Structure 1
Amino acid sequence: MAVSYNRLFKILIDRKMMKKELCELADVSPSTISKMGRGEMVSMEVIARICLKLNCTVDDILEILPDSPEYGTDEKIK
Protein backbone atom coordinates (compact mmCIF):
# COMPACT_ATOMS: atom_id res chain seq x y z
CA MET A 1 0.00 0.00 0.00
CA ALA A 2 1.33 3.41 -0.92
CA VAL A 3 0.48 6.75 0.63
CA SER A 4 0.69 10.14 -1.03
CA TYR A 5 0.90 13.36 0.98
CA ASN A 6 0.73 15.56 -2.12
CA ARG A 7 -2.54 17.01 -0.86
CA LEU A 8 -0.77 18.23 2.29
CA PHE A 9 2.01 19.84 0.29
CA LYS A 10 -0.59 21.51 -1.95
CA ILE A 11 -2.28 22.95 1.16
CA LEU A 12 1.08 24.31 2.31
CA ILE A 13 1.64 25.95 -1.07
CA ASP A 14 -1.89 27.42 -1.09
CA ARG A 15 -1.35 28.86 2.40
CA LYS A 16 2.16 30.05 1.53
CA MET A 17 3.46 27.99 4.44
CA MET A 18 6.90 26.39 4.52
CA LYS A 19 7.49 22.86 5.77
CA LYS A 20 9.55 24.31 8.61
CA GLU A 21 6.53 26.35 9.73
CA LEU A 22 4.38 23.20 9.70
CA CYS A 23 6.98 21.46 11.87
CA GLU A 24 6.78 24.21 14.45
CA LEU A 25 3.00 24.62 14.28
CA ALA A 26 2.15 20.92 14.61
CA ASP A 27 5.20 19.91 16.70
CA VAL A 28 6.41 17.51 14.00
CA SER A 29 10.07 16.74 13.38
CA PRO A 30 11.70 17.63 10.07
CA SER A 31 12.56 13.95 9.58
CA THR A 32 8.85 13.09 9.74
CA ILE A 33 8.09 15.68 7.06
CA SER A 34 10.92 14.15 4.99
CA LYS A 35 9.30 10.72 5.36
CA MET A 36 6.05 12.21 4.12
CA GLY A 37 7.87 13.70 1.14
CA ARG A 38 9.08 10.20 0.25
CA GLY A 39 5.58 8.75 0.63
CA GLU A 40 6.44 6.72 3.73
CA MET A 41 3.94 5.91 6.46
CA VAL A 42 3.83 8.13 9.56
CA SER A 43 1.85 7.65 12.76
CA MET A 44 -1.80 8.58 13.09
CA GLU A 45 -0.78 10.82 16.00
CA VAL A 46 1.27 12.96 13.60
CA ILE A 47 -1.55 13.00 11.04
CA ALA A 48 -4.03 14.05 13.74
CA ARG A 49 -1.80 16.89 15.00
CA ILE A 50 -1.36 18.22 11.48
CA CYS A 51 -5.09 18.04 10.78
CA LEU A 52 -5.95 19.84 14.03
CA LYS A 53 -3.46 22.63 13.40
CA LEU A 54 -4.41 23.09 9.74
CA ASN A 55 -8.13 22.72 10.50
CA CYS A 56 -8.61 19.97 7.92
CA THR A 57 -9.42 16.27 7.70
CA VAL A 58 -7.25 13.25 6.94
CA ASP A 59 -8.71 13.10 3.41
CA ASP A 60 -7.51 16.66 2.87
CA ILE A 61 -3.86 15.80 3.49
CA LEU A 62 -3.28 12.24 2.33
CA GLU A 63 -4.36 9.74 -0.26
CA ILE A 64 -4.03 5.97 -0.08
CA LEU A 65 -2.96 4.67 -3.47
CA PRO A 66 -3.84 1.23 -4.80
CA ASP A 67 -1.15 -1.43 -4.90
CA SER A 68 0.55 -1.39 -8.28
CA PRO A 69 4.03 -1.22 -9.81
CA GLU A 70 3.22 2.38 -10.84
CA TYR A 71 3.13 3.44 -7.18
CA GLY A 72 6.09 1.35 -6.10
CA THR A 73 4.01 -1.45 -4.62
CA ASP A 74 3.05 -4.63 -6.36
CA GLU A 75 1.76 -6.68 -3.45
CA LYS A 76 -1.47 -8.50 -4.01
CA ILE A 77 -4.43 -7.20 -2.04
CA LYS A 78 -5.45 -9.81 0.51
Structure 2
Amino acid sequence: MKINYNGLWKVLIDKDMNKKELMEEVGLSPATVAKMTKGEFVSMQVLYRICIKLNVDFKDIIEIGNREDKHDR
Protein backbone atom coordinates (compact mmCIF):
# COMPACT_ATOMS: atom_id res chain seq x y z
CA MET A 1 0.00 0.00 0.00
CA LYS A 2 1.21 3.47 -0.81
CA ILE A 3 0.28 6.82 0.56
CA ASN A 4 -0.39 9.62 -1.88
CA TYR A 5 0.72 13.08 -0.77
CA ASN A 6 -0.48 14.92 -3.88
CA GLY A 7 -2.90 16.89 -1.73
CA LEU A 8 0.01 18.24 0.27
CA TRP A 9 1.92 19.30 -2.83
CA LYS A 10 -1.22 21.08 -4.10
CA VAL A 11 -1.65 22.86 -0.76
CA LEU A 12 1.96 24.02 -0.95
CA ILE A 13 1.35 25.44 -4.43
CA ASP A 14 -1.80 27.20 -3.21
CA LYS A 15 0.14 28.70 -0.30
CA ASP A 16 3.08 29.63 -2.56
CA MET A 17 5.47 27.41 -0.58
CA ASN A 18 8.08 24.94 -1.70
CA LYS A 19 9.32 21.77 0.02
CA LYS A 20 12.34 23.51 1.50
CA GLU A 21 10.13 26.15 3.12
CA LEU A 22 7.86 23.39 4.44
CA MET A 23 10.89 21.66 5.98
CA GLU A 24 11.99 24.87 7.67
CA GLU A 25 8.52 25.90 8.88
CA VAL A 26 7.56 22.48 10.26
CA GLY A 27 11.02 21.25 11.26
CA LEU A 28 11.12 18.29 8.88
CA SER A 29 14.27 16.47 7.87
CA PRO A 30 15.19 16.05 4.21
CA ALA A 31 14.77 12.28 4.71
CA THR A 32 11.16 12.75 5.79
CA VAL A 33 10.32 14.88 2.76
CA ALA A 34 12.08 12.32 0.54
CA LYS A 35 9.89 9.57 2.01
CA MET A 36 6.79 11.62 1.29
CA THR A 37 7.94 12.32 -2.25
CA LYS A 38 8.30 8.55 -2.77
CA GLY A 39 4.84 7.83 -1.30
CA GLU A 40 6.22 6.14 1.81
CA PHE A 41 4.83 6.27 5.32
CA VAL A 42 5.79 9.00 7.79
CA SER A 43 4.72 9.33 11.39
CA MET A 44 1.33 10.62 12.42
CA GLN A 45 3.12 13.27 14.46
CA VAL A 46 4.76 14.63 11.29
CA LEU A 47 1.42 14.75 9.51
CA TYR A 48 -0.16 16.46 12.51
CA ARG A 49 2.55 19.15 12.59
CA ILE A 50 2.11 19.76 8.86
CA CYS A 51 -1.67 20.08 9.23
CA ILE A 52 -1.36 22.51 12.13
CA LYS A 53 1.20 24.68 10.32
CA LEU A 54 -0.73 24.76 7.03
CA ASN A 55 -4.15 24.98 8.73
CA VAL A 56 -5.52 21.95 6.87
CA ASP A 57 -6.97 18.54 7.77
CA PHE A 58 -5.41 15.13 7.16
CA LYS A 59 -7.80 14.48 4.29
CA ASP A 60 -6.44 17.58 2.54
CA ILE A 61 -2.86 16.29 2.38
CA ILE A 62 -2.94 12.49 2.17
CA GLU A 63 -4.82 9.75 0.38
CA ILE A 64 -4.49 6.00 0.69
CA GLY A 65 -3.48 4.43 -2.61
CA ASN A 66 -4.45 1.03 -3.98
CA ARG A 67 -6.69 -0.07 -1.12
CA GLU A 68 -6.84 -3.62 -2.44
CA ASP A 69 -3.12 -4.32 -2.07
CA LYS A 70 -2.64 -8.10 -1.70
CA HIS A 71 -0.22 -7.56 1.22
CA ASP A 72 -3.02 -6.08 3.34
CA ARG A 73 -5.36 -9.06 3.16
TM-score relative to the length of structure 1: 0.84
How many angstroms apart in 1 are the aligned matches of 2:23 and 2:11? 14
Q: Deviations over 1:4-55 (max 9, x none)?
A: 0000001111111010110011111111011100000000010000000001
The corresponding residue for 1:42 is 42
Q: What count of residue pairs does the alignment treat as equivalent?
A: 73
Percent of aligned positions that are identical: 49
How many angstroms apart in 1 are the aligned matches of 2:71 and 2:45? 28
Letter in 1 for 2:55: N
The corresponding residue for 2:64 is 64
Structure 1, unaligned runs of 5 or more: 69-73
TM-score relative to the length of structure 2: 0.90
**1:76 offset after TM fit, Å?**
5.2
Specify the structure having the higher radius of gyration (Cα). 1
Runs of 4 or more, structure 1, over 4 Å off, are none
Structure 2, unaligned runs of 5 or more: none
The corresponding residue for 1:75 is 70
Alpha-carbon RMSD: 1.4
